[in-house]
Structure 1
Amino acid sequence: MEEKEYLDLLTLQRLLKSGVEELFPTKLWVKAEIASVSRKQNGHCYLDLCQNDESGTVARVKAAIWRSRFLQLNNFFAQATGTVLQAGMSVLVRVQVSYNELYGLTLSIDDIDPAFTIGEKEQEKKRTIARLEQEGLMDKQKQLSFPVLPYSLAVISASSAAGFGDFCRHLEGNSYGFVFQVELFEAVMQGVTAPGSIIDALSRVESAQTSYDAVLLLRGGGAELDLACFDDYRLCAAIATCPLPVITAIGHERDYHVADMVAYSYEKTPTALADVFIDCYMAEDERICSFETKLKLAFVNKIAAMMARVDLLENRIQAADPRKLLSRGYTLVADSGGRLIKEAKGIAPGDILRIMFADGTLSCEVKDRK
């Protein structure tokens, strides 16, 4: 039997190691997306970096930030971006490519460019806006009607979110005694899983038996990159096509996210949003009070006009009272049947007439007519 040439595994791995070190003798900058990140108790941070396109993940590699560098690098990134390294972020990292006979290829990260991550999120935001505009979804929510007195409110938020608590306390504690029905649909409100979680919550709202007046997206603010999920195309398209008015209040004072743009309306904070609903009821209460005042005034004016009419008729009746005429020296003449005689025509001698005075009546016989 012919003996085949072969390499043992260790030799193969050493050849690969030698080839990698020869091909990448110095550090280089690599653009990638963080697929996962895990900080270990020993202080090291391990990441899975990947590259995706329309078909899915096309490249993946393990990376590490060693303990000696991680704390400084993590603090630097957090100060620049307002958040820590997390899955879903696009990053530009400086790496040393190495190959280990036991663990394979590893990228050792010793620097990161936070400006790149911020810029990538801004570019993603612009791409989302352009696509929504092309599909005619940017103003779709604005075409919906909003109830005069919104009562039943579906809230999408995390139950532990400070923004949700602020909203409920402010709404329920209004000094006017207005009452609202609020139902929470829990969702993840930041990070790579947030868009899918919020979309699922929107679906649950739409399929619920309760007929809601509006859907509210609430969270209590956070770092800019923590809120990047609200620029996600899938989430923004789901908001735009929701059959109910969607109002966002994600608690960010400095920026305006795509979710805010496509929603029916938006408020900067959950507390400000609670004021919107209280103001709706205040405006309607004032309108009703205005109607009440106008109705009372109209009623008073109508009664006054009717009283004036009654007084006029009373004066006319009194002026036409025969007793008034008789008291001024006039007399009334009637025939024996009581019918008033207005002229001498038709009266013949011998007829009996009654002549009425203010103080009495005389019965007379006609002797002659001239």
Structure 2
Amino acid sequence: MPLYNRRSEAPIPVPTPPAPLGLAELLARVRLALHRQFPESYWVVAEVADLTKPRFAGGHCYLTLTEQATDERGQPAKAQARATLWSQRYQQVVPAFEAHTGQPLRPGLRLLLRVQLRFHEQYGLSLDVLALDPSYTVGELARQRLLALQTLEIKGLLERQKRLALPLAPQRLAVISSPTAAGFQDFVRQLEEAPYDFALTLFPAMMQGDEAPASIRGALDAVRGRRRQFEAVVIIRGGGSKTDLLAFDDYGLAAAVGAFPLPVLTGIGHERDEALADLTAHRALKTPTAVAAFLVERLARVDGLLQHLATEIRAAAGHHLRQHHAHLDRLTARGRAAGQRHLAAARTALYQRARQAAQGPREQLRQQAQRLERFRYQVPRAARRALAHEQQRLRQRARALQQRFARHHRRRREHLLRLRYQLELASTRLLHRAEKRLWALQAKR
């Protein structure tokens, strides 16, 4: 007999797995969950990593927002999301933002945005930008500028250019500008109207836009390789809005200007604010024409000084000549007086000898008369020799002074001729390059 009764065992019920969801249904549930969890808009701080502006009127603006953060383990992590500024809101928000901050909406800016969470089954998670707070961006830009100034000061780049000696008459200039800029044309025209010769070498560069700082640094590197050919560097551009001058607030460009081995003059066409590049330059002037006026005035002062020195040299030469003439006149008077004294003494001696001759032999009288005659001729001859010697010394000094002045004049003329030759050579080279470019363009056509 079995120990246990055999009874039929009921099967254990197996739970039925949930029916699989379609991708569209799953993403729809995600969208509904996000909408319930985040129904309102939120203020968010983020940095613009990428930006696509509208390509036509009525287009939308697309942004990529990022933020550097840390995860639960303290490791660096990067948060990133797509954002959209729809056309109508873009036309309202962005002009007000640029007017308030003086900055265009561009990559690299930290923004305070009011956004609303959006999820689409096809395009995924994104943010709709509803508003921008420009005051946050202004404060952030001011903080970045202050940090850049502090860094430049710590590295000694704010004063390094100021300690460089600018030549008294800088004429060999390396100019960094856009060749088509009106400011560059005004600068060249004003120097051409001046009565002095300037040797200008243009190093073309972009003067506005995101690529301008790198372009200007590249031009500075090109000048650095030829720095022995120049006496100073001029960075100029025409006037523009405040946003057009953002390139000159770049820390890298300001540091490159401050560390440059030649004096750098800036004239970037703004009247109210100083860019970082102005603060690190040797001399910052408001406009390109102000730079040209500064250079012309500096040469005018040197020219005036040279003319004053030439006048003083002529006056000193005339004074020395007058002194030597007066000295010669005194020597002539002394010689004449000495001759007269000697003649008077000889006459006295003659009278004495005559009285003695009347008492002595006739031969002694004849000898005394001969001696007296020789002495009579020797005295004027000695006076003439002394006078001739002094005249010769005076003529030698006059010739030496005239030769010295002639050498100085010749050196200055040779220097001016060299400068003229260098200018003509530079003009010929520029004309040759322009002709080559024209031939190349004609050949392409």
TM-score normalised to the size of structure 1? 0.81
Which residue identity is paired with 2:214? G
CA distance in 2 between partners of 1:56 and 1:226 (Å) = 35
Which residue identity is paired with 1:287? L
Of the three residues 160, 166, 182, the one matched with 1:146 is 166
Of the three residues 295, 317, 320, the one matched with 1:299 is 317
Residue-by-residue CA offset, 1:257-288 (whole Å, 9 max, x unaligned): 22211112211111111111111211110110
Which residue identity is paired with 2:146? K
CA distance in 1 between partners of 2:67 and 2:165 (Å) = 40
Q: Is the 8 A contact 1:38 1:45 kept in 2?
A: yes
1:320 partner SS: helix
CA distance in 2 between partners of 1:49 and 1:253 (Å) = 35
1:127 partner SS: helix
Which residue identity is paired with 2:258? A
1:32 aligns with 2:46: yes
Q: Which residue of 1 aligns with 2:254?
A: 236
2:269 partner SS: coil
Cα 1:324–1:97 shift into 2, 3 Å: same
CA distance in 1 between partners of 2:108 and 2:179 (Å) = 24
Q: Root-mean-square deviation (CA), in Å? A: 3.4
Residue-by-residue CA offset, 1:144-170 (whole Å, 9 max, x unaligned): 222222122222222333322222222
Cα 1:9–1:221 shift into 2, 3 Å: farther
State the shift of 1:127 in Å: 0.5
Counting only pairs closer than 5 Å after superposition, residues 194-343 of structure 1 correspond to structure 2 as 194-208=212-226, 211-322=229-340, 325=343, 330-331=347-348, 333=350
Cα 1:144–1:323 shift into 2, 3 Å: closer
Q: Is the 8 A contact 1:154 1:185 kept in 2?
A: yes
1:137 partner SS: coil
Q: Which residue of 1 aligns with 2:115?
A: 95
CA distance in 2 between partners of 1:298 and 1:314 (Å) = 24
CA distance in 1 between partners of 2:369 and 2:77 (Å) = 123
The range that moved more, 102-111 or 307-316, is: 102-111
Structure 1: gaps of 5 or more residues: 335-340, 357-370
Cα 1:209–1:308 shift into 2, 3 Å: closer
State the shift of 1:215 in Å: 1.9
CA distance in 1 between partners of 2:193 and 2:107 (Å) = 39
State the shift of 1:255 in Å: 1.1
Q: Which residue of 1 aligns with 2:62?
A: 47
CA distance in 2 between partners of 1:319 and 1:48 (Å) = 109
CA distance in 2 between partners of 1:57 and 1:285 (Å) = 65
The range that moved more, 56-65 or 200-209, is: 56-65
1:321 partner SS: helix
Cα 1:311–1:139 shift into 2, 3 Å: same
State the shift of 1:329 in Å: 10
Q: Which residue of 1 aligns with 2:208?
A: 190
Q: Which residue of 2 aligns with 1:365?
A: none
1:67 aligns with 2:87: yes
The range that moved more, 98-107 or 17-26, is: 17-26
Of the three residues 123, 126, 141, the one matched with 1:121 is 141
More helix by share: 2
2:43 partner SS: strand
The range that moved more, 162-171 or 272-281, is: 162-171
Q: Is the 8 A contact 2:65 2:83 kept in 1?
A: no
Which residue identity is paired with 2:91? L
Percent of counterpart pairs with the same letter?
Answer: 35
Which residue identity is paired with 1:11? E
State the shift of 1:74 in Å: 3.0
Q: Is the 8 A contact 1:251 1:270 kept in 2?
A: yes
Counting only pairs closer than 5 Å after superposition, residues 172-183 of structure 1 correspond to structure 2 as 172-174=192-194, 176=195, 178-183=196-201
State the shift of 1:42 in Å: 5.1
Q: Is the 8 A contact 2:110 2:137 kept in 1?
A: yes
Which residue identity is paired with 1:241? A
TM-score normalised to the size of structure 2? 0.68
Which residue identity is paired with 1:45? H
1:283 partner SS: helix
Cα 1:83–1:258 shift into 2, 3 Å: closer
Counting only pairs closer than 5 Å after superposition, residues 73-84 of structure 1 correspond to structure 2 as 73-84=93-104
Which residue identity is paired with 1:20? L
Which residue identity is paired with 2:64? L
CA distance in 1 between partners of 2:341 and 2:216 (Å) = 91
Cα 1:118–1:219 shift into 2, 3 Å: farther
Residue-by-residue CA offset, 1:51-97 (whole Å, 9 max, x unaligned): 36699993443322222222222332333234542333333222222
Q: Which residue of 1 aligns with 2:393?
A: none
State the shift of 1:333 in Å: 4.0
1:190 partner SS: coil
1:117 partner SS: helix
CA distance in 2 between partners of 1:64 and 1:120 (Å) = 23
2:191 partner SS: helix
Cα 1:14–1:201 shift into 2, 3 Å: farther
CA distance in 2 between partners of 1:42 and 1:224 (Å) = 24
State the shift of 1:311 in Å: 1.1
Residue-by-residue CA offset, 1:302-337 (whole Å, 9 max, x unaligned): 1111111111111112222349946x9935549xxx
Higher relative contact order (CA 8 A, sep 6+): 1
